[in-house]
Amino acid sequence: MAYLVDRAQLESVFPPEVLVTLDEAAAQDISHGPTRDFLRHVGLPDKPAAWFEVSEEVCDGELEIGFEEIAEHHPGLSFDPSHWVNLGGLSYDDIVLDASTGAVYCLPDDGGAPYLLNRSLDAFAYFLYLLEVERPNYDFETGDGTFEEGAENRLRAWMEAADDTAFSNPESAWTTVLQYVSTKLQ
């Protein structure tokens, strides 16, 4: 299966030991085939010092499915949180996966209504990859201190080209991440 990002690409910017995959037994609860395969063979970068920290449940391979309380707190949602799995945290928000569709949702830290963040898990992982590829152009702690201008604009253009749903919510977690990139450049 062709993903937006593969294991080799992730290993080109993240050490292999930080890429979290699921074994077959843990992955069996993910009913969406492409997402299950992605979690088995490609994985997610667990890099708390960077952008994303994988949940303990995923790291331990003990997935808990279902966020029914979200539906109770936010009646009228157009999606079903009973199939959600906690993936981890991005910025200050919780990130969940719909195990039946592969869509990735954001649960805002401020208690706001959840929203679609990425249409697929590979798109989410691709965004993390792009942030790491571009890191030498916005993070003073990496690289040689010379920046190629336009990191925030390049990242946004690449992200929008890969998954146009990522910025549908004006207060998207990705918007927050890119604001941080912009701030680091000032």
Q: Is the pLDDT of residue 143 over 80?
A: no
Domain annotation covers residue 71: yes
Average pLDDT over residues 157-166: 96
- Most confidently predicted of 37-41, 70-74, 89-93, 143-147: 37-41
For the segment 78-123, what is each residue's pLDDT rounded down to a tens digit?
Answer: 888 889 999 999 988 999 999 999 999 999 998 888 999 999 999 9
Pairing of strands 93-98, 52-54: unpaired
C-alpha pair distances (Å), 103 with each of 29, 42, 77, 123, 136: 15, 17, 15, 9, 30
H helices then E strands: how many in the chain?
8, 7
Average pLDDT over residues 148-167: 93
Domain annotation covers residue 2: no
Domain annotation covers residue 179: yes
SS3 letters for 92-153?
CEEEEEECCCCCEEEECCCCCCCEEEECCHHHHHHHHHHHHHHHHHCCCCCCCCCCCCCHHH
DSSP string, 67-89: -HHHHHHSTT-SS-GGGEEEEEE
Domain annotation covers residue 144: yes
Domain annotation covers residue 55: yes
**Residue scoring higher pLDDT (144 or 23):** 23
Domain annotation covers residue 129: yes
How many domains in the chain? 1
Domain annotation covers residue 44: yes
- Can you give the pLDDT at residue 154? 95
- Can you give the pLDDT at residue 144? 64
- Can you give the pLDDT at residue 174? 96
> What token pair was written down for 171?
């207060």
Domain annotation covers residue 1: no
Domain with 106, as residue range(s), is 7-185
